[in-house]
Structures are given as structure tokens and as C-alpha cells.
Structure 1
Amino acid sequence: MDVELLILVAMGLSVAMAGAWGVQRATGLSGWIDAIWSLAVGLGGITATLFANGEFGRRMAILVLIAAWAARLASHIGSRTHGGGEDPRYAKFIEEWGNSAGWRLFLFLQIQALAAFILVLAVYLAAANDTPFPGLLDGFAILVAIVALAGEAISDGQLARFRHMPTARTEVCEVGLWGYSRHPNYFFEWLFWCAWPLFALTASAWTWAALLAPTLMYWLLVHVSGIPPLEEHMLRSRGDKFRALQKRVNAFFPGPRRHGELP
């Protein structure tokens, strides 16, 4: 394991999130935080991949996948933020923090830098795998990553089109994949990070650390900064309509609707 490389990547992620803090303070738009975070993870993953000592073919596949993930997610969040309103999740945090919002947000974003490092570590461990490529797990990993990228892009596109409908301010989204999961974009984001242990796992004990990436992403999305604050916002803004949606549509994993058919 190249410890010096990982230390440099960790420092870069910390600086990037300090920059994200400065952008949020200057613009008042917290959506730029997630766009910068996505780019930072992508650049960290690309750097780790380029300097890892793994098998060349695997490293190139990994580089393409992590670059595609970062470019798509950052551009999507950036376009949504440009000319849009404040992210309700961050807005709630900042409101609760009051006069201490500035320094507490800075610390919060440094925690995000640590989370980003755990994700980049999984990418590095995958790229450092020097077993012959392609193997069975490599094929499965590529399939999982492509399905995840496509699913998240489709989910985001469906939600974006719904938001342009006249009824979007008062109704809940149940179009397409949103009829089978209340947060299909989060599900596919988590699924993407499930690909990296598949790329990484060998007999080496270090490679098992790649499992931290999907574990962390699931915890963050389902229990911390993803679903809980967003659903709290939806309950405040949509009330009984969203409560009814909670009863008939799974929160995270796509599955059969429990009551009623698709509208």
C-alpha cells in the first residue's frame, strides 16, 4: 500500500472541502458543496488509480468508471444548483446551528472529506489489484457499476422532468423508478460503490477494507445525511401525500408497491 500517495490524496480532499465551504459562504448555495465533493472524490480516485501498481487493464476500466461517475454527478448537481434554491438538507442544518453555522459547517465538511477518503481508498485498493484482468469478479463489478450509473442517471432525469410539471409543488413523484423506491437515485448511488470491493478483493487482508465504501455509503444515505433530512422536508412540505407514499413505496431498495398501482 502506497501510504504517501494516500496521505497526499487525503490532504487534497481536505483542501477541496475547505474550498467548498468558502464557495457556500460566498454564494449562500449549499448545492455547490455536493458538486465539489463529487469532483474531489472523482479526482482523488483518478489520482489513486494512475499511481497504483495494479494490473493495467483493470486500472483503465476503473479510471473510466470513476471519471464517468464524478462528471455525471457533479454536472447534475451543478446544473440543479445554478439558478436554483438552497438545498433543504443544508438549510435545516444551518438554521439549527444559528450563529455557529460558519465553523460548524466547516467541521462538517471536513468530516465529508474523511468520508470521501474512505471511498477513494476503495478505488485505490481496486486499482492496486495485480491479479490477471479480466476475471469473473471484474466482469461482475463492471456490470454493477454500469447498471448503477445508468439507474442513477435515469432516476435523476425522471425527477427533473417531474419538477417541471405544474403539479410538482404540491404532489409527490411516483413516475418511473420513483414508483418502486422513494429514493432510487440514492439506491443506485449506493450500488455503484458496491462495485469496488468486487474489483479489489484478493487474498490480501488490506483489500477487505474496500467493503467500507458501500457500508459507509449505505449508512450515510439511509441513516444520516440522505433519506432522514430529505423525508423530514417532504413531510413538512407535502404532509399527508408523502405519508401515503411512505406506506406504499419502499424507502430505499426498489420493490413491489404495497398499496395501489402506479398513477
Structure 2
Amino acid sequence: MQVLAWLWQKKHQHADIADVVWSGMIVVNGIVIFTLATGDIFHRAIILLIPVAWYLRLFWHLVERYDLSKEDGRYAYLRSYWDKNTQANFLMFFIGQGLIISLFSFPAWVLANNIDDFGLWDLVGLFVVGISYLGVWLSDRQLRLFKKNKTNKGKVCDVGLWKYSRHPNYFFEWTHWFAYPLLTIGNELQWLMWIYPMIMLVFLLKLTGIPFNEQQNLRSKGDAYRDYQEHTNKFFIGPRKTKHS
């Protein structure tokens, strides 16, 4: 699927398909895991909530905003930056995405094969998923409504949750990964599940998420975004900073 997505990108000179396929294939992986797993009914069924419903929401959100006439600024910049080796680099990028999809599908496999009975920690895990889902949905909705208002064109979204974090959607994407270790307490691989929130944090802060997003915002919004950076937390939701003089 990643190679097919790369071929689509090559034909249309439009790499946004990478995000669509990323979320869609995690949904497919979740359905396959649900079908093949041998865990108890609760831990198998929860796969239909995470990752299936979780990433199905993201998949649909990305499909809705997909615009073949305009490539996302992140990918447009990479296309310009890579220049002559563009397609070779994009191929490696797409294949790398496929490997990451497999990496982040593994916790679902562990969860779906958990044979422990429903307990208190499962309830806590469901609560974490619920809060995280609400946070991501609200963040995306606030940003979408802000962008729909034509008077906000070129401005920085600093309303709602975006007033307290420059990336509240990424923050709640991160918090939902704590559900996996909570839902697998007692499993022999449960210790491994605690590593995943840390891996996701590194990805978001240092690799695929926030760095590209911040760079693109600085290119497109300039000083307005620099001002936003000065008084708004980068990732964790919290009080606004006092602006430096």
C-alpha cells in the first residue's frame, strides 16, 4: 500500500496521500488483528475502539481535507528541498511509513491477545481513551472552524485548546498511547507497552510531527507564529507564558 501511495504521489506530484494511507492502514491492521486474535472478548473488542475507531476518525478527517489542487506545505517544501533526488527520497519516506505502521500496530496485537478478565485498570484505560479522543476531536474542530472563517486567513489559530498548546491534537494523540499499558496490566509483555508512549513522544517532538509543522508555520506565518511560540507551550497543555520583552 505504501508503494502504491508513492506511485500515486509520483503521478500527481502530491504527497498528502502519505497521511491518508498511514491512518487507513492502521485501521486495516486493527481489523485484521481483531479477526485473528485469541484474547478474551473484552480485550479483542477494545481493538474496535483503539486503534480502529481512533484512526478511522483521523482517516476520515484527512480524506475530508484532502485537496489534490494544493499540496501540504510540509511536502511541498521537501519536494523543493530534495530537488533532483525527490522521488527516491519520497520512496524511502513512504516505505519508512510502512515500517512505522507495523511498529505502532504491535500494541494492538498484544492487547487483542490478552486473556485477563476485565478489571479496574481496564476501566482506567478506557477513561484515558475517552479523554484523549475528546481532546483530539475538539482540537481538530476548533482548528477547522478557525480556518473556515475567511477573516482568519494568514492568522495563527490561538483559540480554545490552541491557546494553551501549539499542538493540542498531537498532545492528545500522545496521551491515548497510555491506554495500551493500562489495558494490558498483567500481560507478560505489559512492560513493553510502557515504552510506546515514550517512542511516540520522540516521534512527535523530534521526528515526524511537530518539527515539520513548526517549520511550515514559520514559513507561512512568519512573525505572527514566532510571537505565538513565545507565549504558548510547544506541546504540553498549560498556562500561557509571559511574553518576553
Q: How do 1:105-144 and structure 2 match up within 5 A?
A: 105-133=90-118, 135-144=119-128
RMSD of aligned C-alpha atoms? 1.7
**Hey, what's the Cα distance between the residues in 2 that align with 1:171 and 1:242?**
8
Match of residue 194 from structure 2: 211
User: Map of 1:1-263 to 2, 5 A cutoff?
Assistant: 16-82=1-67, 85-133=70-118, 135-204=119-188, 206-259=189-242
For residues 234 and 120 of structure 1, the distance between their equivalents in structure 2, rounded to whole angstroms, comes to: 30
Residue by residue over 1:126-171, the C-alpha shift from the partner in whole angstroms, topping out at 9 and shown as x without a partner, is 11111112x1111111111121112111111111111122233321
Q: State the percentage of identical aligned residues.
A: 35
Question: Using the alignment, how far apart are the partners of 2:154 and 2:187 within structure 1?
Answer: 53
Q: Distance in 1 between matches of 2:47 and 2:124?
A: 13
**CA shift for structure 1 position 62:** 2.3
Q: Helix, strand or coil: the match of 2:194?
A: helix
2:29–2:105: 8 Å Cα contact kept in structure 1?
yes
Equivalent pairs, count: 243
- For residue 240 of structure 2, give the secondary structure of its aligned residue in structure 1: coil
For the Cα contact (< 8 Å) 1:32–1:77, is it kept in 2?
no
Unaligned runs of 5+ in 2: none
Letter in 2 for 1:70: Y
* 2: CA distance, partners of 1:97 / 1:116: 24
Does structure 2 conserve the Cα–Cα contact (< 8 Å) formed by 1:172 and 1:242? Answer: yes
| One-letter amino acid of the counterpart of residue 125, structure 1 | V
- The TM-score with structure 2 as length reference comes to 0.93
Q: CA deviation at 1:86?
A: 1.0
Tell me, yes or no, if the aligned pair for 1:121 and 1:210 is still in contact at 8 Å. Answer: no
State whether residues 184 and 253 of structure 1, in contact with CA within 8 Å, keep that contact through their aligned partners in structure 2.
Answer: yes
Q: Deviations over 1:114-137 (max 9, x none)?
A: 11111110111111111112x111
